[in-house]
Structure 1
Amino acid sequence: MKHSFCDDWEFTHHWTEAFGKGLPVPKQQAVRLPHTCREVPLHYASPADYEMVCGYRKRFRVPPVQAAPRLFLRFDGAAHQAVVRVNGRVAGQHRGGYTGFAVEITDLVDREGENLLTVQLDTREDPAIPPFGFVIDYLTYGGLYREVWLEATAESRLTDLFVYTPTLQEAVVQWTAELTPAAVAVRIRLETADGTLLAEQTAQAAEAGKMQFSVPDAQPWDTEHPVLHHAVAELLNAAGQPIDRKQVTFGFRTAEFRADGFYLNGIKTFLRGLNRHQSYPYIGYAAPESLQREDARILQEELHCTAVRTSHYPQSPYFLDECDRRGLLVFTELPGWQHIGDAAWKDAACAMLQEMILQNRNHPSIILWGVRINESVDDDAFYTRTNQIAHQLDPSRATSGVRYLEKSHLLEDVYAYNDFSHNGVTPGAKPKKDVTPDMGKALLISECNGHMYPTKPFDDGPHRQEHALRHVRVQNAAYASGEHAGCFGWCMFDYQTHKDFGSGDRICYHGVLDSFRNPKLAAAVYASQGDADPVLAVSSSMDIGDNPAGQLGTTYVFSNAQQVRLYKNDVFVTTLRQSEWTALPHPPFVMDDTIGELLETQEHFSPAKAAAVRDCLLAAGKYGLAGLPLAYKVKFGWCMLHYKMTFEDGVALYGKYVGNWGSEATRWRFDAVQDGTVVRSVTLCPSAKLHLEVKVSRTTLREQDTYDMAAVRVRILDENGTPAPYAQFPVQFAVEGSAALVGPQTAVAEGGMTGTYLRTVGTAGEALLTVSAPQTQPVVLRFTIEKEDAVWN
């Protein structure tokens, strides 16, 4: 049984002996978990803002749990070194902020009176433990940033339960236990998610055991139908009554990496994904369950990814749970970034790896263990050891390790390579034979793009287009090779970093989303590869002032529709052709012809005359008259002679159909067509009529084990629903009722986008959030807050 220990904490930025004794100290704060030791600004944040030796304390009474006399505290995440004391006595210590840990407090508590729990937490970057020791390209924040639980068990207790499935109809169940003579047997049941029994076995109690099950009626877990099952283990006494119980969730699925790629349940499956940090504006790592699950939803529903890499450390169990529930495949890895320390440092890394695997190995979404320090050099002795740990603890999954090195020592099962070779001109990815030393093992692109082409939401249109196209080229190359198991773009969203990296404001603008999870253009590259919802995004605003010499150049349209039709002032122009990147499930469309059929339908030219004149006009737009190749100059002259056209005729046609200079702005419309039906439409035309688009992750918030939060994403759009990237306006947030704002009341829209967060405050009721900005009408959102008391479960 477990009970939430997230409420009623006191916090101090400076640990003192007085605080540890429960005495009042200056500036102590009442806080709830998850908690960040200090909120940081969005721009120009510094590690000094959150590096400290801080303190948490909580007074509690032991609930009446006579049938479960042993008591444990479980911390899901404490960044980065914790000393836990109960009534002044040390209950345990833990080094490492990315894995959970438990300490037993059975003999330290007063079962009749009040107890004092304290946590002395060092959030500084200690070079003795991973990922620290050298520079790191992300901020590591600090605090009790995940949940804490009080757990009660019998004297005999199950300490671990692990299920893996060698085939889609077989399950192997392993368990470990601490036993007293009261426990005489262990019973294992396999059930569907609704509790229907599929199989059951009972064996004599032992400190460790293993059972094999045949389950011919099991439904498989996959990306389309992520069917989950439960394994329930019970220790039984002599009368056959349960004295301890443990339940885990798993799925019947096989995950195999072969030389030519990845196979899920025997079916070749390309891993199209993004890398994810676990950070959020202002609160760092301290996001509750709902926000963790929201990121998994965005990856699957909005970005249509099939996979995610949790760079560069294990992430929230709630995020992984949601990946299980959604069928989102996960590559997770031990903490680290380039640096390998001394022998003690390596011991700590191995301990973190073991914790990561033991805590997460029942998640069916996890298909690959990262057992190397990200982008580190070869260290055969160290990595032989990490591979052995992974294969011993989990015989069902492959191992990998992310490197930037070509043909480094391959001790893992999969060669994961950060392929940053594409620079906009070079091929999208390096061939397998140039990268891996073993062609018999799988190759995976673990990162691409990112720092090669940082892109801010407010960069100009051609820059944003090139950012998107770089993701297109690399993903297409990985698909086309037939030799890549998948490709993880860098990265899901912009993130804060140290002064040694990123832009001058200490943000890495590497994401396809901004920090608040608003989409940049590159997000449409990933979104358009899915089939679930119609996607249509145009890479240009079609404004002549955004392009050199007023020429629109080549524009790309990202869509999963069968066709995209172009209209100019509501007159059909052409059906866009498909781009060269045909290995993608849905290649982008190309708009390099803004004339199309207009010379025939509007000027009544014959098809032959229209084709010849169109070629000349488009060439003039592409090269300019001064730079026009000789072949087109000749063709221009031929058209004038053959069709009796004057130079002035050509200039007029050019201004009307190509230049659009000095005339009323054009209204462009793009229609996505599926099976003959328009499923989505985008209109582009200059507009000064702006409005706010405000999207929230949820409007019903639930106070359960702790507070709840809603993510609020804000974009400024024009009257046609098109993003207004130059609307760098101040956005005001005002809250009334049973909720509080997280972050400042005023934020600046960057590239026409910003966001905030709303947090519950412990009471049921309603809350109103008003979002306002210049030149727009305010948006008022209503939230309902429900409250449930935390209970044993």
Structure 2
Amino acid sequence: MFERVPLNDNWLYIENFCEVMKEEEYDESRMSSVRLPHTNIELPFHYFDEGVYQFVSCYRRKIYGERSYLGKHVFITFEGVAHIAKIYMHGKLIGEHKGGYTAFTIDISPYLHLGEYNTLVVEVDSRESNNIPPFGHVIDYMTYGGIYREVFLEVKESIYIDDVFIQTKEVRNETKKLQVEVTVKQSLDKAGEAPWNQHNLEGSSVKLLLQREGCKDGMHELGNYTLKGETTTIELRVSDVELWEIERPVLYILYVELEIDNERVDGKWIRFGFRESEFRKDGFYLNGEKIKLLGLNRHQSYPYVGYAMPRRAQQTDADILKRELGVNAVRTSHYPQSQHFINRCDELGLLVFTEIPGWQHIGDSQWKEAAIQNTREMILQYRNHPSIVLWGVRINESQDDDEFYNKTNRIAHELDPSRQTGGVRFLKNSNLLEDVYTYNDFSHNGCTEGLEPKKSVTSNMGASYLVSEFNGHMFPTKPFDSEEHRLNHAKRHAAVLNSLYQYNDIAGGFGWCMFDYNTHKDFGSGDRICYHGVLTMFRNHKLAASVYGSQLGSSPVCEISSSMDIGEHPACNLSNVMAFTNSDSIKLYKNDEFVKEFYPDTKKYSSLPHPPIVIDDFVGELIERKEGYCHSSAETIKKVLFAIRDNGQNHLPLHLKIKMALVMLKEKLSFQEGLQLYYKYIGNWGGEAISYRFDAIQNGVSVKSIVKKPVSKPAFKVITDTNTLSEEGTYDVASIRILAVDENGEKLPYFQEVVELITTGPIEIIGPKKISLKGGSFGTYVKTIGKVGEASLSLCSESLDKVTIDFTII
């Protein structure tokens, strides 16, 4: 019967590989004990050379050959090894895989010595000089090294289910069409015959059972179906099932049981959803409903450990995309990513555009063959995920190569007729061999329109059109940049999203990118970081994150662009402040006195579901109410004061000079009194600091209040994705985001003091134990060490009160 065993513990590792390491007898005392996922070297946060992870390393592990394995297949699967893996057993090369972004499986049963321990050796080549994608030229992201995803062992009978592919069709009908393709394989004996002869195989059957995930009613049997050879396609109709949709992603489990001569031989389960997706010339449709795709690009990297993170951290990224940033789609740039991440997208209703590895460069024929193999592996390994709606079968931002891309498109359509293909390009009017014209539009420079219209990019107006990247390198933004810079970053994203919604024939767009990432020396800000994200590397929010969160999110979102400190503004004059919010309006209070109510800027952002709100009047009717002037005089005084702020006292327009002179005569207002009004209501230079309150109003009720006033006591704010850790096949990780905030919970963007991290109990810190906040935020990770119990992480700083986070490891 089927057995699956995780193989993530008890590995030995050494950074350098030599031929003797693959032998059975080797001095393993020179090696260190590691658990998978594992990075070949732990890295600094920034300012490191990418050459430090480019070497050949060695992993060793003992595998016991159970006597019950006799006559069975024993498969070992590596989910991801960066970037060339050679597998040895008893010193003999038994398998090799080129490419770090897809899984591979090796049948080790012919090499196992039963009844004893067998030495498995993995030689890992993490150098970037290999003639495989994405290598061959410069790359704008680091590629890291090691066995960075999980490994597992599968034990199967000599005849077994090799693959199951599920397609759902006609899902809007009362009865849905389910097409199941089952591939069965069998081994041959020494005489070249199968344990069950071919005639019996064809006459044997598979039983299909269906269960809604999480349903306690049990499985519903769909029937027994006779095998038609190695691959059998079964078509049937099912009723009383619900659709997989972005707001209600209902998932089902299909159990496939293989029976030979009335004996159950193997079983396999597949999670899927009933849904149909289609890119049309006027946009994207899910289950027949048009949906505007709003997404971000994601790399799979993390500080310190590069690609090597287990399940929970991968899931957390999907949670942040859907629940914090409010997007409905993600592009896995520029390679297939963890099954854990895609599984979570399935669960959340987060649509996925995934693509083959590569970045601009196309190599020789050998290189292309590797890319074609990447295409085949990507589709076979990911095609049952309902969240995936588009295959990327071009090398990101590469030139046209019709012969090459005809092959990748053909393979995609042959292996998965249910999904369309796209290919990310930076070329206008390039050859369209795919189903969807996907294009990186970096035309917006802060002044131009957000996006170019479809007709300016492709003459093929009958094709579907998708914007795969925008912004990013056009305006890199650090969390410690000036307030004005951070606001301009957010405004650029708002401008592009406004265009995205304006054009009905653009299916959607993916901002570049979800978070900052380490990059090669040829890119970034000199410290080996590209600051292109709407989040930091530790997934802390920049201001631009609220542009996304305010568009599709249902919970109240409101972020004010300014700290309201006068020194953040030229000449210490507050001008325009923006609220990125999904509320109906913003009520402004100044020292708890109502100033004015502001509404979304539907003129400039006419197409956004929730336009930002411009707050440009910090006086309101205060002059009238507090100074006793009549309404007309107060309004004239306010206009003049604003004009002095914007143009200077000596450059007032003539008509305002005349109006002000009349008001001064009417109200007997002296020049000195007018100057005092300016400093009191506009400049506030030399005056006492003001407290501002912004109330987000929804349906007439305040749903969120933000208070901006000078900080009196900074404090830590800690966000962790879990306080309960549990090992399921390997170590577990908690992601901790650390912010410095004032007493009202507002981030302090220039706080950068040192923080010491102290743990107790069965956890370890990933990365350094002393950190410094950058732009008022940073983060860390803690991982389990194979023991249960209570644990804690304490944050200690000279100027902030100690904070302790408790964990339970079960």
Shared fold, TM over 0.5: yes
Partner SS, residue 717 of structure 2: strand
The AA in structure 2 aligned to 1:146 is R
Unaligned stretches of 5+ residues in structure 1? 787-793
Residue matched to 1:123? 126
The AA in structure 2 aligned to 1:155 is S
Asked whether the 8 Å contact 2:69–2:114 carries over to 1, the reply is no
1:394 is the counterpart of 2:416 = yes
Partner SS, residue 521 of structure 2: coil
Quote how far apart the aligned CAs of 1:437 are: 2.5
Show CA shifts across 1:623-653 (max 9, x none): 2223434443343334334544332232222
Asked whether the 8 Å contact 2:694–2:705 carries over to 1, the reply is yes
Residue matched to 1:178? 185
Quote how far apart the aligned CAs of 1:344 are: 1.1
Asked whether the 8 Å contact 1:191–1:199 carries over to 2, the reply is no
The AA in structure 1 aligned to 2:258 is L
Asked whether the 8 Å contact 1:198–1:215 carries over to 2, the reply is no
2:381 corresponds, among 340, 352, 359, to 359
Quote how far apart the aligned CAs of 1:141 are: 0.2
Asked whether the 8 Å contact 2:208–2:221 carries over to 1, the reply is no
Quote how far apart the aligned CAs of 1:256 are: 0.7
1:690 corresponds, among 714, 718, 723, to 714
Residue matched to 2:766? 742
1:103 corresponds, among 100, 106, 113, to 106
Quote how far apart the aligned CAs of 1:213 are: 1.9
1:227 corresponds, among 234, 250, 253, to 250
Where in structure 2 are the equivalents of 1:118-267 lying within 5 Å? 118-168=121-171, 169-179=176-186, 180=194, 181=196, 183=201, 184-193=204-213, 194=215, 195-197=218-220, 199-239=222-262, 241-267=263-289
Where in structure 2 are the equivalents of 1:573-612 lying within 5 Å? 573-579=595-601, 580-612=604-636
Quote how far apart the aligned CAs of 1:26 are: 6.8
1:563 corresponds, among 565, 575, 585, to 585
2:453 corresponds, among 431, 435, 440, to 431
The AA in structure 1 aligned to 2:395 is I
Moved more, 120-129 or 310-319: 120-129
1:759 is the counterpart of 2:783 = yes
Moved more, 600-609 or 283-292: 600-609
Residue matched to 1:790? none
Quote how far apart the aligned CAs of 1:198 are: 6.4
Asked whether the 8 Å contact 1:18–1:25 carries over to 2, the reply is no
* CA distance, structure 2, for counterparts of residue 464 and residue 725 of structure 1: 10
Residue matched to 2:20? 18
Show CA shifts across 1:358-404 (max 9, x none): 00000000011001000001111111111111111111111111111
Residue matched to 1:4? 6
Where in structure 2 are the equivalents of 1:279-358 lying within 5 Å? 279-358=301-380
Asked whether the 8 Å contact 2:12–2:28 carries over to 1, the reply is no
Quote how far apart the aligned CAs of 1:166 are: 2.1
- Distance of aligned partners of 1:705 and 1:620 in 2 relative to their CA distance in 1, 3 Å threshold: same
Where in structure 2 are the equivalents of 1:609-648 lying within 5 Å? 609-648=633-672
* CA distance, structure 2, for counterparts of residue 404 and residue 118 of structure 1: 42
2:507 corresponds, among 479, 482, 485, to 485
* CA distance, structure 2, for counterparts of residue 12 and residue 128 of structure 1: 25
Quote how far apart the aligned CAs of 1:173 are: 1.1
Show CA shifts across 1:532-559 (max 9, x none): 2111110011111011101111110011
Residue matched to 1:71? 74
Unaligned stretches of 5+ residues in structure 2? 187-193
Quote how far apart the aligned CAs of 1:172 are: 1.3
Residue matched to 1:269? 291
Where in structure 2 are the equivalents of 1:71-90 lying within 5 Å? 71-90=74-93
Identity %: 48
* CA distance, structure 2, for counterparts of residue 548 and residue 188 of structure 1: 70
Residue matched to 1:789? none
Show CA shifts across 1:260-297 (max 9, x none): 11111111111111100000000100000010001001
Moved more, 600-609 or 448-457: 600-609
1:663 corresponds, among 687, 692, 697, to 687
How many residue pairs end up in the alignment? Answer: 785
Asked whether the 8 Å contact 1:189–1:197 carries over to 2, the reply is yes
Residue matched to 2:190? none
1:549 is the counterpart of 2:571 = yes
* CA distance, structure 1, for counterparts of residue 654 and residue 232 of structure 2: 82
Residue matched to 1:50? 53
Asked whether the 8 Å contact 1:516–1:754 carries over to 2, the reply is yes
The AA in structure 2 aligned to 1:102 is T
Asked whether the 8 Å contact 1:447–1:489 carries over to 2, the reply is yes
Give the TM-score normalised by the residue count of structure 1: 0.97
- Distance of aligned partners of 1:483 and 1:196 in 2 relative to their CA distance in 1, 3 Å threshold: same
Residue matched to 1:710? 734
Show CA shifts across 1:707-763 (max 9, x none): 111111100001121111111111110111101111011111000111111011111
1:59 is the counterpart of 2:62 = yes
Partner SS, residue 433 of structure 1: helix
Asked whether the 8 Å contact 1:410–1:437 carries over to 2, the reply is no
Quote how far apart the aligned CAs of 1:616 are: 1.9
Show CA shifts across 1:14-53 (max 9, x none): 1122321241157411000000000110111222111111
Moved more, 609-618 or 563-572: 609-618
Quote how far apart the aligned CAs of 1:520 are: 0.9
* CA distance, structure 1, for counterparts of residue 472 and residue 69 of structure 2: 55
- Distance of aligned partners of 1:380 and 1:635 in 2 relative to their CA distance in 1, 3 Å threshold: farther
The AA in structure 1 aligned to 2:223 is E
Residue matched to 2:191? none
* CA distance, structure 2, for counterparts of residue 527 and residue 71 of structure 1: 47
Residue matched to 2:189? none
Give the TM-score normalised by the residue count of structure 2: 0.95
The AA in structure 2 aligned to 1:223 is I
- Distance of aligned partners of 1:638 and 1:421 in 2 relative to their CA distance in 1, 3 Å threshold: farther
* CA distance, structure 2, for counterparts of residue 279 and residue 391 of structure 1: 30
* CA distance, structure 1, for counterparts of residue 712 and residue 71 of structure 2: 67
The AA in structure 1 aligned to 2:18 is T
Partner SS, residue 602 of structure 1: helix
The AA in structure 2 aligned to 1:218 is V
Asked whether the 8 Å contact 2:351–2:389 carries over to 1, the reply is yes
Asked whether the 8 Å contact 1:370–1:401 carries over to 2, the reply is yes
Partner SS, residue 528 of structure 1: helix
* CA distance, structure 2, for counterparts of residue 124 and residue 635 of structure 1: 73
* CA distance, structure 1, for counterparts of residue 732 and residue 751 of structure 2: 31
Partner SS, residue 107 of structure 1: helix
Residue matched to 1:93? 96
* CA distance, structure 2, for counterparts of residue 546 and residue 382 of structure 1: 53
Moved more, 187-196 or 205-214: 187-196
1:466 is the counterpart of 2:469 = no
* CA distance, structure 2, for counterparts of residue 167 and residue 748 of structure 1: 55
* CA distance, structure 1, for counterparts of residue 590 and residue 607 of structure 2: 30
Asked whether the 8 Å contact 2:66–2:115 carries over to 1, the reply is no
CA RMSD of aligned residues (A): 1.5
- Distance of aligned partners of 1:202 and 1:48 in 2 relative to their CA distance in 1, 3 Å threshold: same
Where in structure 2 are the equivalents of 1:387-426 lying within 5 Å? 387-426=409-448
